[in-house]
Chain A
Amino acid sequence: MSDPFGQIGEFLLNLLTGWGLEAGLASFILKAAGAAALATGCLFSTFLLIWAERKILARLQDRLGPNRTGPFGVLQTIADFAKLVTKELIFPSGADRPVFLLAPLLVVMSVVGIWAVVPFAPRFIASDINVGVLYVVSIGSIGTLGIMLAGWSSNNKYALLGAFRAVAQLISYEVPMVLVMLIPVMLSGSMGMVQIVEGQRSMWFVVLAPIAFVLFYISSLAENGRAPFDLIEAESEIATGYNVEYSGLMFGMFFVAEFLHAFTIGALATTLFLGGWLGPGVDRYPLLGLVYFFGKAAVIWWSIIWVRMSLPRIRIDHMLAFNWKFLTPLALSVVVITAIADKIGPAGTLGRTLAQLLGNGLILVVVLLVLRAFAAKIRRRPTLTSASTSLGATAR
């Protein structure tokens, strides 16, 4: 029972070579089959995720949610999926057909691709590459490309507006997200996901770098494009933005990508900051790691839904100012402070933990003081002048 996934792989490899296949070809086929199984599993799990999210959303709004199809409405997503599949794929006139088709594929690919480097349990990871964090960043940027192409190829001005907003938002919020993803890398001394999880045996990184965790959480919310950062598909302003012309299964793919991305954020935050599959007894029973991993990821995922239901949409100039004037400088200072504190004591010692906590406390105090001074300045500012209203000045 120490390595169930390795044993399954070995059994299949023996089976294939037993059928007379060459060893290299057999392992190649196994890897391809593993990739297909992981991607399919991710996409199928979305059925459950969408149902669960709709149930939670409904509960937060004091409704019942889907409850007609199957027990507790659990088959509702499958019914919706069947409806989407049977619908016609409509290409708007003047649309760029190949690009229009390609865009939803890229968006789904960028989310599913992240799961290739997520460690679910000890020795249960699709691909433990030594640049896992960088891979997550690179595959995520492809999603931005997909949204941009969707907006552009639709030949619709609302879709194009949504695409412009998407570029402004997703690329901006990538900056603080990438910066704070450096912090687990610095603390564990590796970019590989397994090494990062192993580096949290003595202490989870959320304790060592709480500010970095909060920054990662906020910028991931923005990357997901959900409330309060749902400007790229603001229904009341630009008629759902980049996906307005999409129908049938192509629209469903954007939908699937968004819902899966929410859980992916949970998985990434768990791996980078919450100790991944680490937990009591996990070394004796590796399967317990799955429980810990998905438990932690589900808590983060649930909080994302909670935020989505609780906060109204942020205004677009606030969204950009919040990123460039608050998150990015803060992320930069966190990186600098962590780098300095990391050099004070060797890894795993109390001295280093204290240094990290002191550094984070210092940043917190400075941030609160700066915010207080900023708020005081805002309050002093006159609301109406002779030249124009403040509304006109900000709308420009």
Chain B
Amino acid sequence: MTPLQIVFLLAAAFTLVSALLVVTRPNLVHASLWLIAALAGVAILFVLLEAGFLAAVQVVIYIGAIAILIIFAVMLTRGVMSDAGPGVNRNWWGAALSAVLLFGGIVALLSQVPAAASRLPAPLGDADALLEDLGRSLVDVDRYVLPFEVASVLLLAALIGSIVIARPSAGEEGQK
């Protein structure tokens, strides 16, 4: 085994164990911390695939933004320090079903990829060229410019919506 394989196995095991702990920990803050650990494990996998951009974006968006938001929301929940109630409610079978369906869907999708059938691993592309291609395809009219712009409009709408909700209504505005 090469050192790279050992690192991969360790990272993969770490990701899986953390992901399992996310759903089994009774304490919400601990669960979100394990979520961060799982996301960091995925970032390590990206690094091993020489996808440095995806790894950095994974940390920025998922750990730096989403996980912090989750922890902040949990911290503001009342009595979370002492609360260690049951981790599941009566909808657990629905969650389990959708998780299994999603997993099956992803496996079915990945098995369609031609590289999945071959025994030999596909060689890694040039990281710089791949990154450049990703950037160009996001602004190329023939490729992904429309989804890209639609996503940004959606985010803008969410941004404006949150401001509208957070604004004090006219009555309590006072004399600002």
Per-position binary interface string of chain B over residues 42-82, scored 1 when its CB falls under 8 Å from any chain A CB and 0 otherwise: 00000000001100110110011101100110010000010
Bound Cα distance from A137 to B64, whole angstroms: 9
Q: Is the CB of A135 within 8 A of B56?
A: yes
Interface 9-mer from A60-68, A144-152, A231-239, A305-313: A144-152
Indicate whether B33 reaches chain A with its CB closer than 8 angstroms: yes
B1-60 residues at the A interface, CB under 8 angstroms: 2-4, 27, 29-30, 33, 36, 52-53, 56-57, 59-60
**B163 → A minimal CB distance (Å):** 10
Q: Is the CB of A144 within 8 A of B29?
A: no
Interface 9-mer from A126-134, A216-224, A285-293: A126-134
Q: Is the CB of A24 within 8 A of B2?
A: yes
Q: Is the interface of B mostly helix, strand, loop or mixed?
A: helix
Indicate whether A373 reaches chain B with its CB closer than 8 angstroms: no
Per-position binary interface string of chain A over residues 353-396, scored 1 when its CB falls under 8 Å from any chain B CB and 0 otherwise: 00000000000000000000000000000000101100001001
Indicate whether B88 reaches chain A with its CB closer than 8 angstroms: no
Bound Cα distance from A25 to B2, whole angstroms: 7
**B3 → A minimal CB distance (Å):** 4
Indicate whether A163 reaches chain B with its CB closer than 8 angstroms: yes
Q: Is the CB of A171 within 8 A of B68?
A: yes
Bound Cα distance from A150 to B133, whole angstroms: 41
Q: Is the CB of B30 within 8 A of A142?
A: no
B104-153 residues at the A interface, CB under 8 angstroms: 127-128, 131
**Interface size grouping (class) on chain A:** 20 to 34
Q: CB-CB < 8 A to B56: which residues of A?
A: 131, 134-135, 137-138
**Interface size grouping (class) on chain B:** 20 to 34
Q: Is the CB of B68 within 8 A of A167?
A: yes
The residue that B174 contacts in the complex, of A145, A163, A171, A396, with Cβ under 8 A, is A396
Q: Is the CB of B68 within 8 A of A148?
A: yes
Bound Cα distance from A59 to B63, whole angstroms: 41
Per-position binary interface string of chain A over residues 151-175, scored 1 when its CB falls under 8 Å from any chain B CB and 0 otherwise: 0110100001001000100010000
Q: Is the CB of B59 within 8 A of A141?
A: yes
Bound Cα distance from A141 to B60, whole angstroms: 7
Q: Is the CB of A148 within 8 A of B75?
A: yes
Known: A96-B29, A149-B71, A167-B68. 7 other contacts (CB 8 A): A24-B2, A98-B30, A130-B127, A135-B56, A141-B64, A163-B75, A385-B175
Residues of chain A whose beta carbon lies under 8 Å from any beta carbon of chain B: 24-25, 28, 94, 96, 98-99, 102, 129-131, 134-135, 137-139, 141-142, 144-145, 148-149, 152-153, 155, 160, 163, 167, 171, 385, 387-388, 393, 396
- A-B CB contact pairs (8 Å), 26 listed: A25-B2, A28-B3, A96-B29, A99-B33, A129-B52, A130-B52, A130-B53, A134-B56, A137-B56, A137-B64, A138-B57, A141-B59, A141-B60, A142-B59, A142-B64, A145-B36, A145-B64, A149-B71, A152-B29, A152-B75, A153-B29, A160-B75, A388-B174, A388-B175, A393-B175, A396-B174
